[in-house]
Structure 1
Amino acid sequence: MLFKLRDASFCLVVALSMMRDSEIHEIRRGAVVQHYNAPAIASTLVKGRSGRPGKHWWITEPVAEAIAVAEALSVRHERVFAPLKRPRSTETVHSSQMIDSFIETVNDDRAWTGLAEIPAGRARPHMFRHAMAMLTDQFPGSEIALGLQLKHVAARALANRSTQAYAAADTRWAELLETALDAVRFRRFKELYGSHKDGEPIGYGPGAERVKDAFDEVTATVQAKNGDSRMEEDLLRKLRITIRFGMLNNCLFDQANPVGAVCLENATVPKGHNGPLEYRCRPDRCRNSMIGVEHVAIHDAHRRTQLKPLETRRLPAPRKDLIRREIERVDAILAQVPEEKA
């Protein structure tokens, strides 16, 4: 059982940290620290660097917990992922063995865990690293963050071909990736519907009104046909609404009807590009924009942050004009939110 716990902890760290195999094996006791006020792993960068410099990899709470479990198991060793027998034992710890053992354990215990079977195939640490990079790349502005987490060195993070290569979709499983992303989007879309049905606000702006109208149609249809939750889910899947969940707003850009998308106005669209141009997003005036409840506090904080520099004496006039224009944009966004919610 101890071996299974160690193998499971290793797989979780490999899957979610984007660390190289060698970097994970360099993790030692007390490696979970605070780095720029966020939890991180302190380890050693091995590849491509002389001197083996110490680096930090940001992590989430489940990864920190997995390392704590591995520490508790590896009581006789300084390294977290080490043999569980006595220090001078000939037992070795290979990443491939731990991953294969974990997969075998999951498949053998499906009768009582209820988990789906992990398909046969080769799984190795660099594949997890690549997969997480591809998933992260789905979010706007992710390339710089990816370059920092993957520890790809470049004069400019955006010019680093290594990062782009890691985030580039692999044709062998691109379809599976898209299916997984669609499942996540639909789950969040379904949660929005549940909140709307319970009378809770789901967002503001023209995009939000389109979503609310669509949800009302689903509710009315289900009630008219005396349907159940299964019918609700089927109707939600059939809605002609494309939603992209973002950090500052949600985008309802429809590739089949892009009219009104502000991000495409007077823009040069790259060859082969489909969808909105996220870097030109204007949630203050686009009809596809939906300001979610979770976005209001972000925009309000941004407005207060912009107001502070205006108090600075002798601030150059061009700088003041730029700040005021930014405040006007934020005011236009917050104007879409009822006063009691702002």
Structure 2
Amino acid sequence: MQEIARGSIVEHYNAPAIASTLVKGHQGRRPRKHWWISEPVAEAITVAESVSSHPRRVFATLTPRAVNEELDGGAMVDSFIACVNAGGTWSGLAQIPKGKVRPHMFRRTMAMLTDQFAGSEIALGMQLKHIATRALANRATRGYAAPDPGWAEHLENAVHAARFRRLKDLYEVHGRGQDIGFGSAAERLKGVFDQITATVKARHGDARVEMDLLRKARITIRFGTLNNCLFDERSPAGAVCLENAVVPEGHSGPLEDRCRPDRCPNSMITAEHAPLYEAHHRTQLNLLQTPGLPACRKALITREAERAEAVLYKIRGTTP
């Protein structure tokens, strides 16, 4: 985009395209290339060209110091970070850690995270603005989402850090005497928390010792929308999702698409999950009032209502 000059919209093989120079991987000579675009993109660039104040470029800084001045995305990001860190005292924003940050990293990180979900390639193509005739026709989209060892390690570390922060929050809530969740898995977690607290008192430890013990407790927990799963790969027996299941080769951990929060001993229901089950239960009961329901459909709705009700029984501390 930074290299797009005025008059770059052309036709290439009877389709709208941008004629510009290829910068990536060419430090010296920059070959002229064509990139196919859609009609809305061509219209957007035409509008941008009409409002641009730069004599040659369509996209440029608001106050260009030279006609041929190039935008430096890296320098712009560095300047932004420096500005945020310098104004932390009045903005209240946390300091952005030191390290190399470049614009493409945001696209790559988002693509790698999104690629974990169904229909990701279509969504990524739309988000990254990759134009393709067919949903799976653009190799650029897959390139962004392709796994990379360095990035994977960074993301894994970030996930572990986020998980521990949430686990620490649960520990503090339990320490204040409040309920952290319901079900047998919640009771197991409370027992681990109580053991850590007792150990800290016996050692006359401080908060640092407490956090060290919490890290070393090796609590396996997955925070989810339907429940928090305490599946332990070292002791998978009893996991309902693995009952009579064909586990894919190389897979480790629970099978999330077979999760049964209503009856799995690894399922921990919290107050955050309760509104979802209450709404789902009401919806199923309302559907049962629909006149003329086929018997198979009625049986399916009844089963869903019973599953939601079983979770609600856990929350209320009652039995069906």
What TM-score results when the alignment is normalised by the length of structure 2?
0.70
| RMSD across aligned positions (CA) | 3.8
Following the alignment from structure 2 to structure 1, what is the Cα–Cα distance between the partners of residues 183 and 200?
26
Structure number, greater radius of gyration: 2
Which of 223, 232, 237 lines up with 1:254 in the alignment? 232
Aligned mate of 1:52, from 36, 40, 48 = 40
Structure 2 counterpart of 1:151, from 117, 126, 136: 126
What residue number does 1:85 align with?
A: 63
* Contact map agreement 2:227 2:273 (CA 8 A) in 1: yes
Q: Paired residue for 2:276?
A: 298
Letter in 2 for 1:127: M
Conservation of the 8 A alpha-carbon contact between 1:107 and 1:117 = no
Using the alignment, how far apart are the partners of 1:154 and 1:260 within structure 2? 47
Matched to 1:151, the amino acid is: M
Residue in 1 aligned with 2:262?
Answer: 284
Contact 1:106 1:118 in 2 (8 A): no
| 1:202 aligns with one of 153, 174, 180 | 180
Higher relative contact order (CA 8 A, sep 6+): 1
1:242 aligns with 2:215: no
**In the aligned structure 1, how far is the partner of 2:271 from the partner of 2:125?**
32
SS at match of 2:194: helix
Q: Distance in 1 between matches of 2:170 and 2:136?
A: 34
Counterpart residue number, 2:314: 336
SS for the counterpart of 2:235 is coil
Is the 2:121–2:136 contact (alpha carbons within 8 Å) kept by the matching residues of 1?
A: no
Q: Give, in whole Å, the separation in 2 of the partners of 1:307 and 1:222.
A: 49
CA distance in 2, matches of 1:335, 1:314: 30
Residue deviations 1:130-171, cap 9 Å, x none? 212334556xxx334674365178999899997776444311
Q: Counterpart of 1:294 in 2: which secondary structure?
A: coil
2-structure distance, mates of 1:320, 1:136: 36
**Equivalent residue for 1:118?**
98
Given the superposition, is the C-alpha separation of residues 311 and 276 from structure 1 closer, same or farther in structure 2, using an over 3 Å criterion?
same
Q: 1:186 to 1:119 in 2, by over 3 A?
A: same
Task: Tell me if structure 1 keeps the 8 A contact 2:112–2:144.
Answer: yes
Q: Aligned partner of 1:272: which letter?
A: G
2:154 paired with 1:179: no
What's the counterpart of residue 24 of structure 2? none
Q: Tell me the distance in 1 between the aligned counterparts of 2:36 and 2:288.
A: 46
Q: 1:244·1:252 contact (CA, 8 Å) conserved in 2?
A: yes
Where does 1:63-74 land on structure 2 (aligned, <5 Å)? Answer: none
Q: How many pairs are equivalent? A: 264
Which residue in the other structure is 1:58 paired with? none
Deviation at 1:48, TM superposition (A): 6.5
| Alignment correspondent of 1:170 | 148
Q: Distance in 1 between matches of 2:140 and 2:242?
A: 29
**Alpha-carbon distance change, 52 to 299 in structure 1, aligned in 2, over 3 angstroms:** same
Distance 1:247 1:158 in 2: 30
String of CA shifts for 1:59-82, please: whole Å, max 9, x gaps. xxxxxxxxxxxxxxxxx99xxx96
CA distance in 1: counterparts of 2:94 and 2:285, whole angstroms: 54
Q: 1:216 aligns with which of 183, 194, 208?
A: 194
Range 320-329 or range 97-106, more displaced: 97-106
Change (3 A) 1:163 1:180: same
1:263 touches 1:280 (CA, 8 Å); kept in 2? Answer: yes
Among the aligned pairs, what percent are the same residue?
54
Distance in 2, matches of 1:207 and 1:97, equals 50
Q: Equivalent of 1:263, from 198, 221, 241?
A: 241
* Cα distance change, pair 136–105 in 1 and its aligned pair in 2 (3 A): same
Asked if the contact 1:306/1:323 (under 8 Å) is kept, the reply is yes
Deviation at 1:299, TM superposition (A): 0.9
Alpha-carbon separation, structure 2, partners of 1:234 and 1:212? 17
Where structure 1 has 5 or more consecutive residues not aligned to the other structure, the ranges are: 1-46, 55-75
Counterpart Cα distance in 1 of 2:291 and 2:143: 47
Distance 1:240 1:228 in 2: 20
Unmatched 5+ stretches in structure 2: 1-34, 43-52
Letter in structure 2 aligned against 1:222:
V
**Cα distance 1:276–1:232, how it changes in 2: closer, same or farther (>3 A)?**
same
| Preserved contact between residue 111 and residue 124 of structure 2 (Cα < 8 Å) | no
